[in-house]
């Protein structure tokens, strides 16, 4: 009996060994280590005592997450607790040059700054509500005490305008999580941020670069700067608060192993697609996937409230699109009558009027005096369709298919209101070190929920790092 049980256990071990036991067992421990003094989370037996990562450092082999266009959230140490101050506030931001948006965010950023902490850390978040309405913060995916869960009404009172609340807990997991308002309408105003918990020891095979992206969608009526949180259709799609081509490319050196963490909080699911490579999904919003039986893919569906970590070896040099593949999510200003309604400088007759769909001029958002287009759609049914010249809006060299001296597309006016090309070159407007060396005209095809993974030869990679350092010096000493 005794020997057969041991044999059974040995048998299990050898089966696991065949499937790569080292990673599997490590992952289990990494997912649920806890201090010896703390009770084990439900269903778990307390593991070996932790080897905490010193404050300010990362675990062995772990690289920090880069969240392009979004800063990291600073913290200070108070008696062994990492303390973060989070102001929930109105933030005026810019999706692309000239597209100003009045959103809500954290500490002046939309989405909020990226929190990067280590498994085992004790953390405290002092949340100050600077909104004109009640707020509470939810920590998405974290196994923490109920009173810290941020459920308005059920686990705590709303934090009133001007009020504060301190959340404090110990981190027993690692992976890609996020923090957000648990008021649905506030979510659609932008209130979300990345919450990365690094493992004590890097997952294997370890990565050289680690990126974090937040996907958001927005409905912004023409000539407005405030998102319409009632809408069911969206005309601005952002990655870390920027729309293509102003999304800052992710830079990697040829041959490096790369992780991209993607989080989605909006009304749609986004199939995120990479060019030139195959990746493997290695994590979800629940943590590391504990199996070696992973399948290759180049598109991963990131559903609402989900996180997906993908990893790949960047072995194919080039500037590769990484983007949502929903066609309407690969455009900016996606709406009917794209040109006339959106271009305030176009000096054209606006379709409809302020009371028939272009904004609230009296009463409430759901009141009868608000335009029919306000609720579900953006300007659908607007009268006055007309030819929409798209090309004259473009800057940069004329596309090669156009004849010299001609400024409009050959099919201009054929289908009023529907410019199928949707190509707007703005290389210079969005130029930054990370775009150095991209092919001229690149920005015309990078819009909406699109960004670029640049797999660079080492000399170009180093050159861009120099340019970034130079730019940082200029900012430091204006």
Which residues form the interface with Cu ion (CB under 5 A)? 270, 324, 326, 329
Note the helical H segments in 254-326: none
Q: What share of the chain is helix, strand, coil (3-state, %, to 5)?
A: 15, 30, 55
Cβ neighbors of 197 (< 8 A, separation 6 or more) are: 117, 118, 119, 121, 171, 173, 174, 175, 177
Distance CA 454, CA 311 (A): 15
Contact criterion met (CB below 8 Å) for 447 and 244: yes
Any idea what DSSP says for residue 156?
B
Helix (H) or strand (E) holding 31: helix 21-31
Q: Which two tokens stand for residue 427?
A: 């290389």
Neighbours of 254 (CB within 10 A): 16
Per-residue b or e along 309-345, where b marks 16 or more CB atoms closer than 10 Å to that residue's CB = bbbbbbeeeebbbbbbbbebbbbbbbbbbbbbbbeee
For the bound state, the minimum distance from the C-beta of residue 27 to Cu ion, rounded and expressed in Å, comes to 30
Instruction: Count each helix (H run) and each strand (E run) in the chain, helices first.
Output: 5, 21
Q: Which two tokens stand for residue 155?
A: 């686990």
The nearer residue to Cu ion, 68 or 433, going by C-beta atoms, is 68
For the CB of residue 94, give the shortest distance to Cu ion in the complex, in Å.
21
Q: Least distance to Cu ion from the beta carbon of 261, Å?
A: 17
Exposure string (b/e) for 114-134, b if CB count within 10 Å is 16 or more?
bbbbbbbbbbbbebbbebeeb
The DSSP-derived string for 252-267 is EETT-EEEEEEEE-SS
How far is the C-alpha of 77 from the C-alpha of 136, rounded, in Å?
Answer: 24
- Cα–Cα distance, 337 to 307 (Å, whole number): 34
Task: For residue 429, count other CB atoms closer than 10 A to its CB.
Answer: 15
Closest separation between CB of residue 301 and Cu ion, Å?
Answer: 10
Of 273 and 468, the one with the shorter C-beta distance to Cu ion is: 273
What's the closest the beta carbon of residue 270 comes to Cu ion, in angstroms? Answer: 3
148 vs 215, beta carbon nearer Cu ion: 215
Q: From the centroid of its chain, how far is CA 300? A: 14
Question: What is the b/e burial string over 28-61, where b = at least 16 CB atoms within 10 angstroms of the residue's CB?
Answer: eebbbbbeeeeeeeeeeeeeeeeebbeeeebbee
> From the CB of 64, what's the least distance to Cu ion, in Å?
27
Query: Residue with structure tokens 């020997």?
Result: 3
Residue written as token pair 């998405």: 140
Give the shortest CB-303-to-Cu ion separation in angstroms. 11
The neighbour count for residue 273, using CB atoms within 10 Å, is 16
């Amino acid at each position: 009996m005794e020997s057969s049980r041991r044999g059974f256990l040995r048998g299990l071990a050898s089966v696991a060994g065949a499937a790569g036991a080292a990673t599997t067992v490590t992952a289990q421990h990494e997912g649920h280590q806890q201090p010896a003094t703390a009770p084990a989370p439900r269903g778990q037996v307390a593991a070996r005592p932790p080897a905490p990562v010193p404050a300010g450092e990362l675990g062995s082999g772990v690289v920090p997450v880069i969240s392009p266009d979004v800063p990291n959230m600073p913290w200070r140490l108070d008696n062994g607790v990492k303390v973060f101050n989070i102001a929930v506030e109105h933030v005026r931001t810019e999706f692309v040059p000239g597209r100003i948006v009045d959103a809500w965010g954290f500490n002046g950023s939309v989405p909020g700054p990226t929190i990067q902490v280590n498994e085992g850390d004790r953390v405290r978040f002092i949340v100050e509500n600077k909104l004109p309405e009640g707020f509470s913060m939810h920590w998405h995916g974290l196994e923490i005490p109920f009173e810290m869960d941020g459920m308005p009404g059920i686990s705590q009172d709303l934090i009133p305008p001007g009020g504060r609340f301190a959340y404090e807990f110990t981190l027993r997991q690692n992976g890609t999580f996020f923090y957000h308002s648990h008021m649905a309408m506030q979510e659609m105003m932008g209130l979300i941020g990345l919450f990365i918990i690094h493992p004590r020891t890097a997952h294997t095979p370890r990565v050289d670069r680690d990126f974090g992206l937040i996907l958001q969608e927005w409905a912004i009526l023409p000539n407005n700067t405030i998102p319409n949180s009632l809408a069911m259709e969206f005309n601005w799609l952002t990655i870390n608060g920027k729309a293509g081509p102003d999304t800052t490319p992710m830079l990697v050196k040829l041959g490096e192993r790369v992780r991209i963490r993607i989080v989605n909080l909006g009304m749609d699911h986004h199939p995120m697609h990479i060019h030139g490579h195959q990746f493997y999904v290695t994590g979800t919003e629940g943590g590391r996937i504990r199996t070696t039986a992973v399948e290759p893919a180049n598109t991963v569906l990131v559903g609402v409230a989900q996180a997906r970590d993908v990893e790949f070896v960047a072995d194919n040099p080039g500037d590769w699109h990484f983007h949502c593949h929903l066609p309407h999510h690969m455009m900016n200003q996606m709406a009917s009558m794209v040109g006339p309604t959106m271009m305030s400088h176009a000096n054209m007759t606006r379709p409809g009027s302020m009371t028939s769909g272009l904004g609230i001029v009296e009463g409430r958002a759901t009141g009868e005096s608000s335009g029919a287009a306000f609720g579900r759609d953006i300007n659908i049914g607007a009268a006055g369709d007309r030819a929409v010249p798209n090309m004259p809006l473009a800057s940069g060299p004329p596309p090669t298919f156009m004849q010299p001296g001609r400024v409009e597309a050959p099919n201009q006016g054929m289908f009023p209101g529907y410019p199928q090309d949707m190509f707007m070159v703005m290389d210079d407007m969005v130029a930054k070190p990370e775009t150095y060396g991209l092919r001229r005209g690149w920005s015309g095809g990078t819009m909406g929920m699109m960004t670029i993974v640049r797999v660079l030869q080492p000399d170009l990679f180093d050159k861009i790092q120099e340019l970034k350092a130079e730019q940082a010096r200029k900012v430091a000493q204006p």
